[in-house]
Amino acid sequence: MAEKLLIAGNWKMHKTPSQTVEYFRAFKPMVEGIDEVEILIFPPFIDIPTAVSESRGSNIKIGAQNCYFEKEGAFTGEISPVMLREAGCEYVILGHSERRHIFGETDELINKKVISALEEGLRVILCVGETLQERESGLTFTVVETQLRLGLSGIGDKLDRIDIAYEPVWAIGTGVAAKPEDAEEVHRFIYEKLKEINPTKAEGVRVLYGGSVKPSNAEAILSQPHIKGVLVGGASLKPESFAEIVKIGASIERSK
């Protein structure tokens, strides 16, 4: 498995460019010199140039929250992976539950995006996860495996350019995180499936947990053996709370 824990913050539709400057000028000194974990922030598209500029020379990487699968064309309102690379992004989130459930993105569309992003040299965080109804119906593993296999279809030998975020839909933005042992069970299952998909590349994949991660539960989540990072939503919007999660991850890495 990849060495460093990945501590990623997804700002969703929050912060203007001026607020992005303010955030980074507060956040950078808080995490300066921390190299035990990989630190990654996903701002809105409009904030990416500012975030790249403000993070230059630091230990903070920048990614995008989504992209389209075409390189260019008549696709009003869309952003291509080519544009993201030139803007300074290293990562892109694809298949987030909000894209699936609010905007109706299918596994087939998400798979096209995954392939396109990989072709342009971006590292992908592919999100998978079940709704509360699916969990209560005992479908968690079926849903996760389906999203995983369809999302990764046709990627060939590029599995180690992907990280997976397990985000139970019922835990996102609700304040109710999955119990660490329940999340660990799904993460272990995901690694088993990744080994079936590509046994030689599966070790290069980090499986992150996302869904109401905050400083108060980060240690319990990150201490699980198959949880290799977190995708943080609301708690990443304040530099203080996100820096605290980064430091918790670094402390866990140092204690290994």
User: What positions carry a catalytic annotation?
Assistant: 96, 167
Give the chain's length. Answer: 256
Q: Which helix (H) or strand (E) holds 9?
A: strand 5-10
Dist CA 40 CA 42 (whole Å): 7
**91 close to 125: Cβ distance less than 8 angstroms:** yes
DSSP code per residue over 67-119:
--SSSSSS-TT---HHHHHHHT--EEEES-HHHHHTS---HHHHHHHHHHHHH
Helix axes 107-119, 140-151, angle to 10 degrees: 40
